[in-house]
Amino acid sequence: MIELYSPAEIEAMRPAGRFVAATLSELSKVAAVGVNLLELDELVARRIKEAGAVSCYVDYHPSFGASPFGKVLCTSVNDAVLHGLPFDYALQDGDLLSVDFAAEVDGWVADSALSVVVGTPRPEDLRLIDTTTRALEAGIAAAVVGNKLGDVGHAIATVARGDGLGVNTQFGGHGVGRTMHGDPHVPNDGRPGRGMKLKPGLVIAIEPWFLHTTDEIRYDPDGWTLRSADGSRGAHMEHTIAVTEDGPIVLTARD
């Protein structure tokens, strides 16, 4: 069921958005050569406890997951791009790290993701992050009252294809509110003027993710981590936004 939220309810979502944004900003600075993925997860677990927030991931067990997730953070490295289950791995110079984080504060959920290069960057990784960031910005700009869901997906895919990237529509954005994943599904491709009409009060996560040379993915044995089928690297960007009469509000905007 697709829910629409009042201006007061959207305002009540802001603390969750600020917490998620601040946590990701901290992670982008802490992630460095030699830092273990489990250390990052432990850091975020402490931040959740300090804030009186609730993890959206620990007990999360959707139909595509092999078991409850068991961690508070998704950490996807290099050819992993989505749902990376943190494990005993120390970040190395040049790693491309994507971090996805969702949390509940006062009954409201916010969800966001970013990608960063650890240490010495590869130019092609910086270009991939830039393309993914611009695709997210294009999707957000298209999320205005009166547009259709297809306009959002089309805006995202136009940026990706303009830079020669393929687009996978199996995993994309989603509704956000009292729970992390709700209706509607927000694909990273679409036909302009098609699909559900965007109305004031719709709150969605828009999340483009792309791989260097493929749009095909495969599962790791952990049943969660999704990697490129050809070993190429990936980047992932996401914001939770509210559709309003005055334009989209980015609830997870980072400083």
For 21-69, write each residue's pLDDT tens digit. 999 999 999 999 999 999 999 999 999 999 999 999 999 987 777 789 9
Q: Which domains does the chain have, with CATH numbers?
A: 7-250 (3.90.230.10)
| pLDDT on residue 4 | 98
pLDDT at 62: 79
Q: Is 183 helix (H, G, I), strand (E, B) or coil?
A: strand
Any bridge partners for residue 242, and if so which?
Answer: 203, 249
Q: What is the CA radius of gyration of the chain?
A: 17
Q: What is the reported pTM?
A: 0.97
Query: Which residue positions in the chain have pLDDT lower than 50?
Result: none
- Binding-site sequence positions for substrate: 83, 181
Binding residues: 83, 100, 111, 174, 181, 207, 238
Give residue 181's Cα distance to chain centre: 12
The binding site for a divalent metal cation consists of: 100, 111, 174, 207, 238
pLDDT of residue 61: 87
Report how far residue 176's alpha carbon sits from residue 179's, in angstroms, rounded to the nearest whole number: 6
Confidence (pLDDT) at 63: 76
pLDDT at 67: 85
Alpha-carbon dihedral 2, 159, 241, 181, rounded to 10 degrees: 50
Give the whole-angstrom CA distance, residue 39 versus residue 47. Answer: 12
